[in-house]
Structure 1
Amino acid sequence: MLNQYSSPVNAKWQHLKRAFSSRQAFSDFIHVEPTLDNDGKVNFWINEDLKPTPPEKQTWSWFNYLVFYFGVGFGNWTLGSTMIGIGLSWWQSIVVIFVSQVIASVAIYFASRVGAVYHIGYPCVARSVFGMYGSYYYVGARAILAQIWYGVQMYSSARLLDCMLRAIFGTSYYNIPNYVPASQGINSRILLCFFLMWLAHLTLCSLRPYQLNKFFWAKTIIITPAVVGLFIFCMVHTKGNLGSMYGTTTTKGGFGWFFMYAINAGMGNNATYITNQPDMTRWSKTLWGCRWPQVIINPLTVTVSATFGILATAAINNAWGLELWNQWDLLGAIMDRYWSPGPRFAIALCSFAWTFYFLGVNISSNALPFGSDSTMLLPQFLTIPRGQWLATFVCWGLVPWKIEASATIFVSFLSGYGIFMASVSAVMMCEYYIITKGNLFISHLYTGTKENKHYYYNKGWNIQALIAYVCGVAVPFPGFCGTLGANVSQAATDIGHLGWLLSFTISFILYYIICTFWPTENQKIIKEMGLGWEQMANAPETVDALTPEPVEEIAVLGAEKV
């Protein structure tokens, strides 16, 4: 039996040992604490992380969000370098990055409100829009994409860790014998680094965002001098000679379509944050504190950081005759030419900073969304921390090093990510801002029966939303397949270059038109109640998420507030 002096680590270890003492103990261990309805029955549609965030956990202020977005944005060196890698000139790349980030910031601003108002995550927002059963597809789709991106970012951090270890230990580390076949696309040295970063990610999997404030502060403080320092080194040692101001690659459809392709890739880089906003803003103390900081900070920091990457990459490639597009190859190239204690020490610090940065970004933008999604997919077994642990173990099966095989494949991946997420964001924003006027019935998000008149829709599916989503994805999808190697027409390729913007626009407009002539049952109820803007945000039912109130009573409440 544990005593009051047992350490938290020892307590967890004893709890784990007890889980294997019997079949019942193991069953109790893997199940999360059940939530009971007022009639005493277990509600399988809810757990701790699906409930609205309680006030004591709404700890993020405007400054926390400012620091968070600064840290995320200022490490976007690879995004700018990728644009150089696919053939844009340095000044064209800067324009593309800025335009794409302004568009993304506007989308993030609007996507963030529902989480800040109702303090619920993306899975619950998806239930309100796509239906109690239909939401499983949209949540599952994001979970899959977040899992893939989680592996990619973990591999990126492993490559940077490899640079750090090479700078510290020199040839004794760099010449580690390789036992992995060349066909696997990785060697023993990088695989070791991937394993070490996998362990590092595990240390943060038990934490939720409100517990990571200081960690995100540290990430911001560490990454800033690393980005600036590497930029200064590249410009000084190349005398700022950027080479030709023209790109080397265009599409058959002309430079205009290629330009849109690059903007679409930039949007894909933010597709996670646009969709993930409720998962981040649900922890906010205030409504505006989580929205305006990113509008101001994100375009500036991403553009400045990416510009540093663009200029440094262009200068180094021109001076050394290389075709680099990511920072770990750049750091490796520097060590090849400046193998002395001073540069190695600087590169070790720089590599550590970026490794730490990728660790933080990966937890916030990929592990957290997957953990949040898993709480809805398996609420009886998974919480956000458990979901993050699951995502970390699954990373091994993704072979993420093959996704980052080249700049072209990497950008194609970003573009595809944007296509699938844009339609989801479009339907959710149209539903919230225009059709339902920001009114959610929180208690009904946890009832999966026909008695749920708001979100059961058509056997649990919002057919109107499904039609708008499919159409938004279908139009640019052939062009996306073309970027991955499929034989498609030039017209399909050009349309695919409009990616995120086209998908979002089609789904948003089509969903509005469909619901105008064929409204859902929930939309009819809201219209009959005569609710004003976000009137349900102050309704008593938002306090108790387990006791759905009769529609008639809520209607009276709405009439009184009007």
Structure 2
Amino acid sequence: METPSTWKESAVEKWRNFRFALTSKQAFLDWVQVPPFLDEDGKINEWRNEDLSPTPPEKRTWSWFNWVVFYFSSGFGNWTLGSTMVGIGLNWWQAIIAIFLSQMISSTAMYFNGRCGITYHIGYPCVARSVFGMWGSYYYVAARAALALIWYGVQLYSCAALLDNMFRAIFGHSYTQIPNHIPLSEGITSRRMMCFFLAWLAHLCLARLRPNQLTKFFWAKLIVLVPAMIGLFIFCIANTNGNVGPLYSPVAGDKLGWLVMFGINSGMGNSATYITNQPDMVRWSKKKNGAQWSQLIVNPITVTVSSTLGILATASINNKWGLDLWNQWDLLSAILDRYWSPGPRFAIALCAFCWTFYFMGINIGGNMLPFGSDCTMLFPRYLTIPRGNYLVTFAAFAIVPWKIEASAAIFTKFLSGYGLFMASVASIMICEYFFLTKGNVFISHLYDGSKANKHYYYHKGWNVQATIAYVIGISLPFPGFVGTLGPNVSATATHIFEFGWLLSFWTSFIVYYLICWVWPTRNQRLIKEMGLGWEQMAEELDVIDGTVISGESSSENGVELGKEGVVIQEKSGDQISKEVI
């Protein structure tokens, strides 16, 4: 831990380095580049840096209890998830069942998609390289980075809306009468811009941290969230005597089945980013089972319980007050409109602060850190996870999220439907790892972009089989997805889109498996020829500080590190053969 004196010395040294970087173009380029990663022969590896390398043991600090806290704090705040399912014909218990089923499916997908990251301690960019190719992976990583950037700005604006509630409750009319100097056409006021800046500043303070340094932050998020959510629920129910009114009108017949599928798909969209992000998070875990079993058990329960509280509380308030509110900030504002006395104002200020803290945690874990991880692959010589975190934080202003919130119900639907594009990615990754390569990943080849990389270069750097499966998987629900943006499409296309995430996932999964069964990739053929068992590369190899070293093997067949790369040794009778991989 740095003392004040060492911190001061470090800051002075950084300032001197920055001043020197401004003396010339070459000095600036040297300053912005991250420390290069050197191969065994002393050459700089352009495909690798500290964060792309496997997580070393000393940074694997997350225990099973940390994962319970993380998934509990992430899942328990899903207050508005049920709002997508009410008013469409599902009654309250049908909506709850749809939410629970969607989260069970999501958690199962998270369980399987995290296996590679937790076994080899590598993030999503490296897993993508192993599946989609050294060059093909750029599309899939960039697509997720773009989604993370947009959602980061949108959720940052949600924090600003909650801060607006808090300041209104604390300062009253002195705050609400702040003059506005921003044109109405911009879609934001001066006071809301101030709140956005403060929320942005709070995110900026945490941008320098990696996931292994955020355990206390997620602990704090859990501590402040639970009382705030339960307190808001108790107020709504007590104020209305628990009368949710006639909001839920039951639907029977064939239409009910489609509505249930729509509800499940909506719930899947809520977890789509976490499914894809799993390797980025679980790579920091101490043990394999800690992260996987924690999310499989905790996530469905907490999301279902919190969504149920949100459905019942907001439905009762809407029924009594004649409103149509579902998000937290509009609900808190409506309460202030009706209860303008010191006690309620203090409670609203405290509640708004706690909800702001929750949205910060969701934004950091679900958007900022994944974007930072993606940047390490897109620009490995210039960006690390902290630098990527800073980049997305500064870019949040550029996407003007207040205009997105103000103008675009259509754009919000686009973001929700975007999950189907990520569903195909996750399904191909799971199929490759569990069914086609037997859980074997060749670590050293994840950092070789040359044609000599016989495992992951595929066809000119692209896994053609995976690309075909991906395109087919997203093409079936795509017309219905376009229909959500305004154009008229057939009822059939709309119903197909209601299967959305599940349809894309299973279509890509089945198509990729069948294609590779008939036309396997070179990597799959090599693994079959080597006779590797389940996760044998993980059992035989240790990963320490990003360097692959030989592990101990009880058999005469084994893996060792040679000068030219990883060597597979096999014995057949009296003959011993070795193959450099």
Equivalent residue of 1:456, what SS?
coil
Q: Distance in 1 between matches of 2:98 and 2:571?
A: 46
d(CA) in 2 for partners of 1:116, 1:72: 20
- Partner Cα separation in structure 2 for residue 230 and residue 341 of structure 1: 17
How many pairs does the alignment contain?
559
Answer with 387-396 or 420-429: which moved more: 387-396
Q: Which moved more, 1:116-125 or 1:173-182?
A: 173-182
Q: Which residue of 1 aligns with 2:58?
A: 56
Deviation, 1:27, is: 1.4
Q: Which residue of 1 aligns with 2:170?
A: 168
Q: Which one of the candidate residues 545, 548, 568 is aligned to 1:555?
A: 568
Aligned-pair CA distance for 1:373: 0.4
How far does residue 88 in structure 1 lie from its aligned partner after superposition?
4.8
Richer in strand (by share): 2
After superposition, the CA RMSD in angstroms is 2.5
Q: Aligned in 2, Cα 1:406/1:336: closer, same or farther, shift over 3 Å? A: farther
User: What is the Cα deviation at residue 550 of structure 1?
Assistant: 8.7
1:500 corresponds in structure 2 to 501
Contact 1:79 1:306 in 2 (8 A): yes
Asked whether the 8 Å contact 2:87–2:248 carries over to 1, the reply is no
- 2:481 is aligned to 480
Where does 1:41-52 land on structure 2 (aligned, <5 Å)?
41-52=43-54
Equivalent runs, 1:396-435 vs 2, <5 Å: 396-405=397-406, 409=410, 412-435=413-436
Q: Aligned letter for 2:322?
A: G
Q: In structure 2, do the counterparts of structure 1 residues 456 and 197 end up closer, same or farther at CA, with 3 Å as the change threshold?
A: same
Structure 1 residues 354-433: aligned runs within 5 Å: 354-405=355-406, 409=410, 412-433=413-434
Q: Which moved more, 1:127-136 or 1:468-477?
A: 468-477
The whole-number CA distance in structure 1 between the counterparts of 2:401 and 2:250 is 28
Identify the residue that residue 240 of structure 1 maps to in structure 2: 242
Which shows bigger deviation, 195-204 or 35-44? 35-44
Greater shift, 223-232 or 35-44, is seen at 35-44
Tell me the CA shift for residue 164 of structure 1.
0.6
Question: Structure 1 residues 408, 241: closer, same or farther in 2, change over 3 A?
Answer: farther
Counterpart for residue 557 of structure 2: none
The offset of 1:405, in angstroms, is: 4.5
User: 1:459 and 1:4, CA in 2 relative to 1: closer, same or farther beyond 3 A?
Assistant: same
Q: After TM superposition, give the deviation of residue 225 of structure 1 in Å.
A: 0.2
Counterpart residue number, 2:107: 105
CA contact (8 A) 2:68 2:295 kept: yes
Counterpart of 2:465, as a letter, is Q
Distance 2:498 2:83 in 1: 19
Extract unaligned runs of 5+ from structure 1. Answer: none
What residue number does 1:188 align with? 190
- Report how far residue 466 of structure 1 moved: 0.3
Deviations 1:11-57 (A, max 9, x none): 43443333223333311211011111222221100000000000000
Question: How many angstroms does 1:549 deviate by?
Answer: 5.7
Change (3 A) 1:5 1:234: closer
Residue 554 of structure 1 aligns to a residue whose secondary structure is strand
CA displacement at 1:350 relative to structure 2 = 0.4
| Aligned twin of 2:32 | 30
Deviation at 1:257, TM superposition (A): 2.4
Q: Which amino acid letter does the alignment assign opposite residue 159 of structure 1?
A: A
Find the aligned partners of 2:318 and 2:34 in 1 and give their Cα distance. 54
State the Cα distance separating 1:261 from its structure 2 match.
2.1
Give the TM-score of the pair, scaled to structure 2.
0.91
* Contact 2:56/2:543 (<8 A) preserved: no
The residue number in structure 1 matching 2:202 is 200
My pick for the range that moved more, 331-340 or 82-91, is 82-91
* Residues in 1 aligned to 2:127 and 2:522: alpha-carbon distance in whole angstroms: 17
CA contact (8 A) 1:81 1:313 kept: no
Q: Is the 8 A contact 1:531 1:558 kept in 2?
A: no
CA contact (8 A) 1:60 1:284 kept: yes
AA in 1 matched with 2:282: T
10 and 94 in structure 1: CA distance in 2 versus 1, 3 angstrom threshold:
farther
Secondary structure of the residue aligned to 1:168 is helix
Alignment match, 2:8: 6
Matched residue, 1:532? 533
Kept after mapping to 2: 8 A contact 1:87/1:249: yes
Matched, 1:457 2:489: no
Structure 2 alignment gaps of length 5 or more: 549-560
Contact 1:90 1:245 survives alignment (8 Å): no
2:291 aligns with: 290
User: Cα 1:5–1:318, aligned 2, differ >3 Å: closer, same or farther?
Assistant: closer
The alpha carbon displacement at 1:402 in A equals 4.0
Q: Which moved more, 1:545-554 or 1:438-447?
A: 545-554
Decide whether aligned partners of structure 1 residues 100 and 409 sit closer, same or farther in structure 2, where only a CA change above 3 A counts.
farther
Per-residue deviation at 1:120?
0.2
Shift in CA distance, 5/325, structure 1 to aligned 2, threshold 3 Å: closer
- 8 Å Cα contact 2:72/2:299 also seen in 1: yes
Larger deviation, residues 222-231 vs 143-152: 143-152
Name the CA distance, whole Å, in 2 between partners of 1:230 and 1:51.
44
Question: What SS is found at the alignment partner of 1:555?
Answer: strand
Query: Relative to structure 2, which stretch is displaced further, 258-267 or 268-277?
Result: 258-267
Output the TM-score relative to the length of structure 1. 0.94
Q: Which amino acid aligns with 1:309?
A: G
1:337 — aligned with what?
Answer: 338
